[in-house]
Amino acid sequence: MNTTFLRQRASAGLGLVALCGMSLLTSCDKTITWPENPPLVPTSNDASGGVWKTYIVNADSLTAAMAPLDSNDNTYKAELNEIKQLQSALTSEQMEAIKYWSAGAVLRWNEISRKLVVKYNVAPVVGTPPNPMMPFAQPPFASRAYALLSVAQYDALVCAWKAKFKFGRRTPSQVDAGIKQIVPIAGDLPSYPSEHAAVARASAEVLKYLFPADSAQIEEKVGVHLDSRVCAGANVRSEVRAADSLGRMVAAQIIAYAKTDNANKGGGDAAYWTKPSNFTDPVKWTSLELPFRGGMTPAWGNVKPWNVPSIVAIRPGPPPAIGSPEFEAQLQELRDMSKTRTREQWRITDFWADGAGTETPPGHWNIIAEDLIRKHKQSEIRAARTMALMNTAIMDGGIACWEAKYYYMVPRPSQMDPNIKTATGIPNFPAYTSGHSTFSGAGAAVLSYIFPDGKGQVDAQATEAAMSRLYGCIHYRFDNDSGLASGYRVAAFAIARGRADGSP
């Protein structure tokens, strides 16, 4: 793995940066910084982005009434003067904000979403009712959060690009030589509406919907982000306001979609899943937690997928029958592994554990994607497309995985043999198929499609992620093999969408 990825991964468990007066989204008392990233200077402004296929919104209808102020309008001239006044006395905090957000709107808000997942990826006390203000950001929840965020960002940017290249508004520094262009702009990317403001508002509204207790802190970040673009000379205030309004309209439609995707029913029948006497069959999975806790999101297989027409239709075939020679051989492999695990196998297990208090396996793949996006210098809209294709595939992979888990109800290895010593926590859901493997197969396949020169790297990472669950002795080899295959199968639907979305 390259050093950039390792650097980003090392910071993944840390809290949010205390930057430019923005509040932390964690309770840490330390001042913690993000990875240092240079300004995002894409190799192309992707001028055709306004006609790329959206997921939810109709870009034509949302942009029909949009129009920038005339360049001779006194209000517009006053906005240009505002920038010059701000730039004449920029504070160190304002300069830090400009630097921070210039590293990429899509990627910065994705980072913020990962930190929120870290904060809320803590299981509630057994027996407590669900609290919408304090969601449990376990892997299926996290995969949905990342997908909703990425779709909102992408749809908002398609709309923004449509308006940008319709009006061709020159940047403030091109209109007034007295304005400094502090942040670089890709080519001749028009400034109306502000792409950063569209991303900020769409992202914030989705994250406030998912993590309502942090709404005030999220909103504070929006304010700092939008102000940074004016101070940087990237946009006048009306360009920011127009994009803010656009992002809000896009987010409203994404949230309306989210309210109908069945995720709120993922917990299944609580009366059944929280009753220990329903789980006494020794050849079927049961919770190993004490006190007994019902299986995590048993009905997640019924959540609406983004790209796959039918989850049941792609269900993996049955695993080896319990007691069969193949099953016993794989169980013995784990008995041996738990006694002979090497230091390298321990390291791999720890690196890919992604358990409680982390960004989860889907978030781990967002870090990998961010590294590739920065390496290839993708524009904001192309970065959003990358994240949307990958995260919708990963979410679909999670739905397919959880449908198979609770269909087959395969017990964990340590349920079959308590003498098997695991190297990581035992997830509270059935073994077949492996969630890590499925998420990783889906993420790797989409990233290989988008970044073919990185295929060897991401395929190796997916294989290592899958093997980490074998080394940890919480999955049989067949869990991992079927999970990877399922992830690649699910990703094929997202890739087909990408090939038909109008992007060159």
> Rounded distance, CA 147 to CA 335, Å?
38
pLDDT at 433: 98
Task: Give the position of tokens 């964990």.
Answer: 412
- 236-264 mean pLDDT: 98
Q: Give the per-residue pLDDT at 295.
A: 96
How far is residue 114's CA from residue 112's CA, in Å, rounded to a whole number?
5
- Tell me if 76 is assigned to some domain: yes
Of all helices (H) and strands (E), which one includes residue 480? helix 477-499
What pLDDT does 184 receive? 85
Using one digit for the tens of pLDDT, what is the confidence trace for 62-97?
999 999 999 999 999 999 999 999 999 999 999 999
Locus of tokens 């995590």: 296
237 in Cβ contact with 79 (< 8 Å): yes
Q: Which of 205, 231, 258 corresponds to the end of one domain?
A: 258
Domain boundary among 258, 289, 321: 258
* Band (181; pLDDT cuts 50, 70, 90): very high
Structure tokens at 500: 């038909």
Cα 174 to chain centroid distance, Å, stands at: 36
Based on the domain organization, do 243 and 289 belong to the same domain?
Answer: no
In a domain, 342, yes or no: yes
Whether the pLDDT of residue 455 is over 60: the answer is: yes
Whether residues 229 and 353 fall in one domain: no
Tokens of 176: 């007034």
In terms of phi and psi (left: phi > 0; alpha: psi -120 to 50; beta: otherwise), the region of 233 is left
Please indicate, yes or no, whether residues 78 and 139 belong to a single structural domain of this protein: yes
Backbone angles phi, psi at 86, to 5 degrees: -65, -45
Shared domain check, 296 and 202 = no
Number of domains in the chain: 2
- Torsion angles phi and psi, residue 437, rounded to 5: -65, -40
Q: Check if the beta carbon of residue 370 is closer than 8 Å to that of residue 109.
A: no
Q: CA–CA distance from 279 to each of 24, 71, 244, 300, 327 (Å)?
A: 42, 71, 51, 19, 21
Number of H helices, E strands in the chain: 19, 0
Distance from C-alpha of 319 to C-alpha of 432, rounded to nearest angstrom: 7
Residues 241 and 288 occupy one common structural domain: no
**Over the stretch 109-126, which tens digit does the pLDDT of each residue have?**
999 999 999 999 999 999
499: enclosing H helix or E strand? helix 477-499
Q: How far apart are CA 20 and CA 40, in angstroms?
A: 19
What lies within 8 Å, CB to CB, of 365 at 6+ separation is 390, 394, 439, 440, 443, 444, 447
User: Does residue 369 share a domain with residue 297?
Assistant: yes
Q: What is the pLDDT of residues 351-396, one digit of tens each?
A: 999 999 999 999 999 999 999 999 999 999 999 999 999 999 999 9
Tokens of 308: 């796959």
Q: What is the pLDDT of residues 1-37, one digit of tens each?
A: 333 333 344 333 323 333 333 333 433 333 334 457 8
The 3 state secondary structure assigned to 227-249 is: HHHHHCCCCCHHHHHHHHHHHHH
Residues 282 and 251 both lie in one domain: no
* Ramachandran angles phi, psi of 439, nearest 5°: -55, -45
Domain range for residue 96? 3-258
233 CB neighbour count, 10 Å cutoff: 25
Widest CA span of the chain, in angstroms? 82
Average pLDDT, the chain: 93
Per-residue HEC secondary structure of 152-201 comes to HHHHHHHHHHHHHHHHCCCCHHHHCCCCCCCCCCCCCCCCCCCHHHHHHH
State whether residue 80 is helix, strand or coil. helix
Run of H or E including 347: helix 343-351
pLDDT at 496 over 90: yes
What is residue 419's predicted lDDT score, i.e. its pLDDT? 97
| Span 304-327, average pLDDT | 98
Exposure of 81 in the CB half-sphere (CA atoms within 13 A) = 6
Q: Select from 205, 9, 28 the least CA-distant residue to 111.
A: 9
Cβ partners under 8 Å of residue 138, min gap 6: 121, 123, 296, 297, 360
Asked whether residue 271 is assigned to any structural domain, the reply reads no
311 and 211 in a common domain: no
289: its two tokens: 């937690």
Instruction: Categorize the per-residue pLDDT at 188 as very low, low, confident or very high, splitting at 50, 70 and 90.
Output: confident
Structure tokens at 429: 């859901």
pLDDT of residue 35: 59
**% of residues, the chain, pLDDT over 70:** 93
What is the arithmetic mean of pLDDT over 465-475?
98
CA distances from 475 to 411, 483, 485, 494 (A): 9, 11, 15, 27
How far is 84 from 80, CA to CA, in rounded Å? 7
Q: Is residue 270 part of a domain?
A: no
129-173 tens-digit pLDDT: 889 999 999 999 999 999 999 999 999 999 999 999 999 999 999
Q: Tell me, what DSSP letter sits at residue 303? A: S
Of residues 38 and 330, which shows the higher confidence score? 330
119 in a structural domain? yes
pLDDT band at 185 (very low <50, low <70, confident <90, very high): confident
Flag whether 427 is in a domain: yes
Whether 191 contacts 238, CB under 8 Å:
no
pTM of the model: 0.94
Residues 31 and 120 in one domain: yes
Q: How far is CA 187 from the centre of its chain?
A: 28
Domain boundary among 258, 293, 311: 258
The residue with tokens 């002795």 is 473
| CATH number where 478 lies | 1.10.606.20
319 belongs to a structural domain: yes
Residues 281 and 253 placed together within one structural domain of the fold: no
E strand or H helix that includes residue 221: helix 215-231
For residues 97 and 193, state if they share a domain: yes
272 in any annotated domain: no
Same domain, 341 and 388: yes
What is the SS3 assignment for 405?
Answer: helix
Residue whose token pair is 């207790």: 213
